[in-house]
Amino acid sequence: MWCDDMSSYLEMSKEELEALKKDLEKKYEEMKALGLQLDMSRGKPSTAQLNISMDMFDVLNSKSDMHAENGLDCRNYGGLDGIPEAKKLMADVLDTTPDHVIIFGNASLTIMYDTVSRAYSHGLLGNTPWCKLDKVKFLCPVPGYDRHFAITEHFGIEMIPVPMKEDGPDMDMIEKLVSTDEAIKGIWCVPKYANPTGISYSDEVVKRFANLKPAAKDFRLFWDNAYVMHHLYEDKHDEILDILSECEKAGNPNMVFEFTSTSKVSFPGGGISVMASSIANLDEARKQMNIQIISHDKINQLRHVRYFKDAEGLKKKMMQHAAEMRPKFEATLEILDRELSDAGIGKWTNPNGGYFISFDALSGCAKAIVQKCKEAGVTLTGAGATFPYKNDPEDSNIRIAPSYPTAEQMAQATEIFVLCTKLVSIDKILADK
């Protein structure tokens, strides 16, 4: 997964490095003079991707029958937890059954926030509300997703970083912490094509998650399966085990909340989202939802189901997205490979799906690289953003999001990125000499 032949720059003499630096600085000034404005900061679909599902807006018109298959008029109140055909679609996507899902609004982030908020104010399945406890902690595999960390930070929850390994987070560490510390109430997971590493959890990791023996009765896996369908290649698909059935088998049926949405399938902000969990957890969620809302947008649910038809239809659309995304990843990776694979000043991931490439620079270099890129017109996610409290103790990780620019722009941006990485790394190596 990681391309990490860290050698060459570190073996160069001071004089060699200084000569190289001079040469690179010239190139950097030339690049800077181009006045580029390139953004690879967020996992945002490109305009070409948004065009893929434009015909979704032809699916419903003034002549359409607006009834769900259970006879519910999607234009009126009712249907708190979603229309049956939307439940079926999203259950199939998550490899579970419709009774294990609730369809929500346009954003799975909101389901996650609301679930934490509900645990905070009311507690989960009869356990003490988190707001009444002195201390609540969450485990945070790192590098991870900044918006996850923002939720737990917002609720004053202490976040403990857990390193990511090749096949998922460090399970030895997780098992030890979760089984001994009752204050640990949850963990943020992106189990497939993780944000930002692109790593997918191995079967063994999923099983170890399902078999955790938490000290806290209300410990929960916040299983954000955001990229469940986001393959990059036709022939290389990561697959992960269904966490719900694994938790059930392990006697921990209530231990997981799984989330996903169609945000990057249909439209960001215009899609539908889903939570999958045990019946007991969903019943509790429905009880609270019934206070918060009468129903989510069932018309949009209907629009999505009539458009995609089934999980197969959805997967086919995802291959169109993959065709847009792949050249950008390839352009980025080709330049990283060509320019850095022998330099020993960075390692990066080469994922089969998802939205990101994770890059680890030499310790202490990430912030400076991001800053130097910015000065040359390339915006990256802020260094540190992939860690709780935006604090990357190594100042090493940088998240590269290739989706929004064109492949040509990504190539340009990556050229600048490698230039900046080289320059900052040389300074670092020289300073350390």
The footprint of its own copies (CB under 8 A) covers 42, 44-45, 47, 50, 54-58, 60-62, 64, 66, 73-79, 105-107, 109-110, 113-114, 117, 120-122, 129, 131-132, 147, 150-151, 154-155, 267-270, 288, 290-300
Cβ of residue 58: shortest distance to its own copies, in angstroms? 5
Cβ of residue 173: shortest distance to its own copies, in angstroms? 27
Cβ-based nearer residue to its own copies, 226 or 240: 226
Cβ of residue 301: shortest distance to its own copies, in angstroms? 10
Cβ of residue 167: shortest distance to its own copies, in angstroms? 30
Q: Indicate the SS3 state at residue 77.
A: coil
Cβ-based nearer residue to its own copies, 272 or 423: 272
- For helices 407-432 and 14-33, the axis angle rounded to 10 degrees is 150
**Distance (Å, whole) CA 286 – CA 292:** 10
Cβ of residue 277: shortest distance to its own copies, in angstroms? 19
Cβ-based nearer residue to its own copies, 96 or 403: 403
Cβ of residue 233: shortest distance to its own copies, in angstroms? 24
**Distance (Å, whole) CA 21 – CA 295:** 60
Cβ-based nearer residue to its own copies, 151 or 228: 151
DSSP classification of residue 45: -
Q: How many residues does the chain have?
A: 433
Cβ of residue 386: shortest distance to its own copies, in angstroms? 17
Cβ of residue 250: shortest distance to its own copies, in angstroms? 31
Rg (CA), the chain: 23
CA atoms within 13 A on the CB side of 105: 14
Tokens of 363: 């310790």
User: Interior CA angle at 179 toward 174 and 182, to 5°?
Assistant: 110
**Distance (Å, whole) CA 115 – CA 152:** 11
Cβ-based nearer residue to its own copies, 37 or 363: 37
CB atoms within 10 A of CB 127: 15
CB atoms within 10 A of CB 391: 13
Cβ atoms of residues 418 and 345 within 8 Å = no
Cβ-based nearer residue to its own copies, 2 or 57: 57
Those residues with Cβ within 8 angstroms of residue 289's Cβ, 6 or more apart along the chain or in another chain: 80, 81, 102
Tokens of 145: 């997703």
Cβ of residue 84: shortest distance to its own copies, in angstroms? 16
Cβ of residue 64: shortest distance to its own copies, in angstroms? 7
Sheet holding 397-400, edge to edge: 346-348, 357-361, 397-400
Cβ-based nearer residue to its own copies, 66 or 279: 66
Cβ-based nearer residue to its own copies, 401 or 410: 401
**Distance (Å, whole) CA 209 – CA 205:** 6
Cβ-based nearer residue to its own copies, 74 or 102: 74
Pairing verdict, β 220-224 and 256-261? parallel
Cα distances (Å, whole numbers) of residue 206 to 15, 94, 190, 209: 50, 15, 11, 5
Cβ-based nearer residue to its own copies, 352 or 381: 381
CB atoms within 10 A of CB 170: 16
DSSP-H helix ranges across 274-406: 279-292, 298-308, 311-340, 366-375
Cβ-based nearer residue to its own copies, 303 or 372: 303
Cβ of residue 59: shortest distance to its own copies, in angstroms? 9
Cβ atoms of residues 348 and 356 within 8 Å = no
